[in-house]
Structure 1
């Protein structure tokens, strides 16, 4: 199993760079961070007023690509509704080049209603957002793989569009989502990687549904890289605190967390992503991430 770090998007650049640079060089035995991820939101999903700091994902990732070597970077995940997929493909190709092939384009259908409303973006409804997402995935993967793309859809239209320069390497597309009806088909058709929030006990059943969709589409199960994340609480009271939350969370002593990582691995997880998005300083991120690498990841 590999491990990655989900950094806060609200940090000023100097703090974000410091945390990312430290993570890129952190080691404990054979354990290290495989990648760094940033979320794509314009505001918090909390009651108004909602004016907390929030960076722009692709701009921050471009800066990380240019300054942090030897580690993957990715979006966890871009909201499809916020940008035209043809423009996203162009941005992703440039990021792939700057990152020397280390960039992962994570994308999802979009869900946070308050930021759509605040920024005047069409929210649609769940069925329409899924249809738009399907169109976007076809556009992005075709632009990546084909010399020229013409497309006429419900939401998007392209007329002989192309990516030039091409992505530096085969640009991986990660789909974030856990719906059991449409999402497995989209993952099987378009994704190189798949991600959703989960506890260890929840992962196996969901994973079986997506694996069946891969096999139905004629894909080998091992062709899909699978990642997940949950909030992590260290210490004796960590398990109790995690159990009180509705959002996927785990907790406990280092030994208990190692056992939970093993349970994720047995359920089919290839990569666990540690969210530190609630932390407000590079020093706090460094302390938490170093503890996880030394006390948990190094023992898995």
Structure 2
């Protein structure tokens, strides 16, 4: 298995209590820590503007600004977003921006891309909130623009939602063929078909049942469009809550809930806790290895892991690095 690590950026209330002036120092320090070793292949951020599960005035740092900063602050580790919302930025501009960051990073950029879902921030930023079919059509057109821009250096598309006419993208990304595309989401009719046609990576449901089902849907799309299913890397995201003992896991859970308590209602807090409990990366190292191994056996070869407390302590990461990662490589 390959391993990616989410960097706290505020979106999940994971920088609260830290002064705004220290946020970048916190994020860049964690990035350099991961960069210095060899266990983590990639660093990831979320592409959101407002906190979740509800908007607040707590900081949420912008994803592509972080990409540029992390590209300059690290030397080895790859850098991605899980995932960029296509409609938040003009796709040709995004292609150009990604090409530049690929150069800053020395060819280490990944492009996670999806149709977007967080209605409040869509409307707050003036993007409206088109129905899902429209958002996915925008995704498909944008991906076509990326591919032209990164391979030919120029893009022309007279689409339903995007029109570009001889738009130049120079320099090309450093990576031959362009920045690797991660098509994120498990929509069975459209998103996974787009993934079959254009993606080098997918990212969807990481439970054994969900992963197996989405994989079979992807396989059918690959068959229909003539893509080699085995050439697409299937990944999933995991919220980690780990402790040396079950009692320690529960204590980590209580600490996490206490940190979020001032910002969420009891129902919202219960839902956040449920996003960890019983999931594949929740438990003791032995339990986590067993559960993740089950998904790995189904073909999940790349996990991207989120630790809620990394801005405050690296103890969970250290335990995961020491006792989980070696067992799954």
In structure 2, how many angstroms separate the alpha carbons of the residues matched to 1:103 and 1:219?
24
**Which digits, 9 at most, give the CA deviation of each residue in 1:44-67, with x for residues without a partner?**
13345x211110111111111112
In structure 2, how many angstroms separate the alpha carbons of the residues matched to 1:56 and 1:243?
22
In structure 2, how many angstroms separate the alpha carbons of the residues matched to 1:226 and 1:46?
27
1:75–1:296 distance in 2 versus 1, CA, 3 Å: same
TM-score normalized by the length of structure 1: 0.91
C-alpha deviation, 1:225, in angstroms: 1.5
CA contact (8 A) 1:81 1:129 kept: yes
SS in 2 for 1:267: coil
Partner of 1:180: 188
**Which digits, 9 at most, give the CA deviation of each residue in 1:184-217, with x for residues without a partner?**
2100111111112422332112112112212322
Partner of 1:200: 208
Matched, 1:68 2:74: yes
Indicate the RMSD between aligned Cα atoms, in angstroms: 2.1
Matched, 1:90 2:80: no
TM-score normalized by the length of structure 2: 0.83
**Which digits, 9 at most, give the CA deviation of each residue in 1:58-94, with x for residues without a partner?**
1111111112111111111111111000001001101
Q: Unpaired runs of 5+ in structure 2?
A: 16-22, 254-270
Choose between structure 1 and 2 for higher RCO, CA contacts under 8 A separated by at least 6 residues: 1
C-alpha deviation, 1:258, in angstroms: 0.8
Name which of structure 1's ranges 77-86 and 220-229 shifts more when overlaid on structure 2.
220-229
SS in 2 for 1:103: coil
Q: Which aligned segments of 4 or more residues in structure 1 are displaced greater than 4 angstroms?
A: 241-244
Name which of structure 1's ranges 163-172 and 246-255 shifts more when overlaid on structure 2.
246-255
Q: 1:19 aligns with which of 11, 21, 30?
A: 30
CA contact (8 A) 1:5 1:37 kept: yes
Partner of 2:324: 296
SS in 2 for 1:209: helix
1:46–1:261 distance in 2 versus 1, CA, 3 Å: closer
Partner of 1:8: 8
CA contact (8 A) 2:239 2:275 kept: no
In structure 2, how many angstroms separate the alpha carbons of the residues matched to 1:108 and 1:140?
13
1:243–1:158 distance in 2 versus 1, CA, 3 Å: closer
In structure 1, how many angstroms separate the alpha carbons of the residues matched to 2:310 and 2:57?
16
Q: 2:315 aligns with which of 270, 274, 287?
A: 287
Q: 1:265 aligns with which of 276, 296, 308?
A: 296
CA contact (8 A) 1:232 1:274 kept: yes
Matched, 1:275 2:306: yes
In structure 1, how many angstroms separate the alpha carbons of the residues matched to 2:7 and 2:291?
22
C-alpha deviation, 1:42, in angstroms: 0.3
Partner of 1:216: 224
Alignment of 1:134-145 (within 5 A): 134-145=140-151
Partner of 1:245: 274
Matched, 1:230 2:238: yes
Name which of structure 1's ranges 266-275 and 228-237 shifts more when overlaid on structure 2.
228-237
Q: 2:172 aligns with which of 166, 169, 177?
A: 166
In structure 2, how many angstroms separate the alpha carbons of the residues matched to 1:136 and 1:275?
28
Q: Unpaired runs of 5+ in structure 1?
A: none
SS in 2 for 1:86: helix
